[in-house]
Amino acid sequence: MKNDNRYETAAREAAESRFASHIAACLTESAETVAPDVTERLRFAREKALALARRSREGGQGVGVTASGEVIAGFSRSRWWLRFASVLPLVVLVGGLALIQDWQNRTQISVAAEVDEALLGDDLPINAYRDPGFSEFLKAPPNE
Amino acid sequence: MATEKELSDFLKSVEKRAWKRAVYAVRDDDAALDIVQDTMIRLSEKYADRPAAELPLLFQRILSNATMDWFRRQKVRNQVVRNFSEFESAAGKEDDFDILETLEALGGPLQSESAAESVSRAQILQTIEAEVALLPARQREAFLLRYWEELDVAETAASMGCSEGSVKTHCSRAVHALAKALKAKGIST
């Protein structure tokens, strides 16, 4: 009984395989007779793909494909330049802000130095500015 | 690494079958051409440095993915699912159909059953193609990869991303469905 089942299964599989092979042969025969325009477009696609492979093999030089399918060369494969270009504005912005901050610091220091220089170089002692009476004297009109 | 000639010869050898496979799947000649072109470009762009022996499996896998991408873009996956369910519902109605007898009968050269003279070979091939196109997507893919592209069961399973058992089941169901459909159309020895 077991052997009968095995025989039946094997026979079925063999029949399936034979049938499938015949169908595959028919499909192959049919595929060989595709329309000339399809053949031409397939050839065009193949050549485009081969051009892409050829250029991608050239050291360091990558290739790209446009939306219309045109193969273009000149890109690095890793496209590092694209990443660099996207980060560049941020780098410029941060650098600019740092420069502005530095310029402001230097300006403030310069102004403070001028004030210090004027104070220290003046005949009037610096402690006079801390005297309330002197402050009142300065606020008073000159002709009184 | 595959040479340019090996890659060229390989693409030349598979391009027509690949186009037909895509046509069976998407039923649109132009879309099928786009899918094949996309597949060739993806293979050349990413896998041109692989050995020539690896190209067939890679190509079939990329073609399957490209076809699936097309379906995703077209948002017609529901139709594919419906085809599956239609097949599942029809599967239980095969009791009165002796598959072994039919397969044996269809195993020889395919001809018209009743009026061989009036039905040309081209028409028979067209009928077979139409029936292949009508198979549920996974069955058709398994059948074509296994018997047309002549991948073994393991390679077919790897290409389809399923188990070997699933491949055998899909192939068997596809063969039975084709045999039944062709017999119904009078194509036999």
For the residues B22-45, what does the mean pLDDT come to? 89
For the residues A32-56, what does the mean pLDDT come to? 87
* pLDDT computed for residue A3 by the predictor: 67
Does A31 sit within 8 Å of B17, measured CB to CB? yes
Q: What is the ipTM of this complex?
A: 0.71
> Across chain B, what does the average pLDDT equal?
79
Rounded to the nearest angstrom, the minimum Cα separation between A80 and chain B is 17
Flag whether pLDDT at B95 surpasses 50.
no
Q: Which domains does chain B have, with CATH numbers?
A: 4-74 (no CATH), 84-188 (1.10.10.10)
Does the pTM surpass 0.95? The reply is: no
Flag whether pLDDT at A77 surpasses 60.
no
User: What is the percent of chain B with per-residue pLDDT over 90, rounded to a whole number?
Assistant: 14
pLDDT bucket at B110, cuts 50 / 70 / 90: low
Which one has a higher pLDDT value, B128 or B104? Answer: B128
Does A27 sit within 8 Å of B129, measured CB to CB? yes
pLDDT bucket at A12, cuts 50 / 70 / 90: confident
Q: Does A72 touch chain B (CB under 8 A)?
A: no
pLDDT bucket at A81, cuts 50 / 70 / 90: confident
Flag whether pLDDT at B164 surpasses 60.
yes
Q: Which residues in chain A are closer than 8 Å to B170, comparing Cβ atoms?
A: none
Residue indicated by tokens 């194509």 = B187
Which one has a higher pLDDT value, B72 or A92? Answer: A92
For the residues B109-120, what does the mean pLDDT come to? 53
pLDDT tens digits along B59-72: 988 998 898 888 88
Does A53 sit within 8 Å of B44, measured CB to CB? yes
In whole angstroms, give the CA distance from residue B185 to residue B123: 12
Flag whether pLDDT at A124 surpasses 50.
yes
Within 103-142 of A, beta carbons closer than 8 Å to B belong to none
* pLDDT computed for residue B78 by the predictor: 59
Select from B41, B150, B151, B183 the residue whose CB has the most chain A CBs within 10 Å, as the one to mutate to test that interface. Answer: B41
Flag whether pLDDT at B2 surpasses 90.
no
Which one has a higher pLDDT value, B138 or A72? Answer: B138
Does A27 sit within 8 Å of B20, measured CB to CB? yes
In whole angstroms, give the CA distance from residue B10 to residue B57: 12
Q: Does A28 touch chain B (CB under 8 A)?
A: yes
Does B11 sit within 8 Å of A30, measured CB to CB? no
Nearest to B147 among A20, A32, A54 (CB): A20
Does A30 sit within 8 Å of B20, measured CB to CB? yes
User: Nearest-CA residue of chain A relative to B23?
Assistant: A31
In whole angstroms, give the CA distance from residue B113 to residue B122: 15
Select from B175, B183, B185 the residue whose CB has the most chain A CBs within 10 Å, as the one to mutate to test that interface. Answer: B175
Q: Which residues in chain A are closer than 8 Å to B45, comparing Cβ atoms?
A: 52-53, 56, 63, 65
In whole angstroms, give the CA distance from residue B11 to residue B42: 12
Nearest to B37 among A8, A53, A69 (CB): A69
Which of A32-46, A60-74, A93-107, B9-23 is the least confident region? A60-74
User: Nearest-CA residue of chain B relative to A70?
Assistant: B41
User: Nearest-CA residue of chain A relative to B142?
Assistant: A20
Give the residue among B107, B90, B118, B123 at the shortest CA–CA distance from B183: B107
* pLDDT computed for residue B118 by the predictor: 47
- Alpha-carbon distances, residue A35 vs A31, B16, B24, B39, B93 (angstroms): 10, 10, 16, 20, 39
* pLDDT computed for residue B92 by the predictor: 47
In whole angstroms, give the CA distance from residue B189 to residue B178: 15
Does A28 sit within 8 Å of B40, measured CB to CB? no
Task: Give the other-Cβ count within 10 Å of A116's Cβ.
Answer: 11
> Across chain A, what does the average pLDDT equal?
81
* pLDDT computed for residue B8 by the predictor: 87
For the residues B27-33, what does the mean pLDDT come to? 89
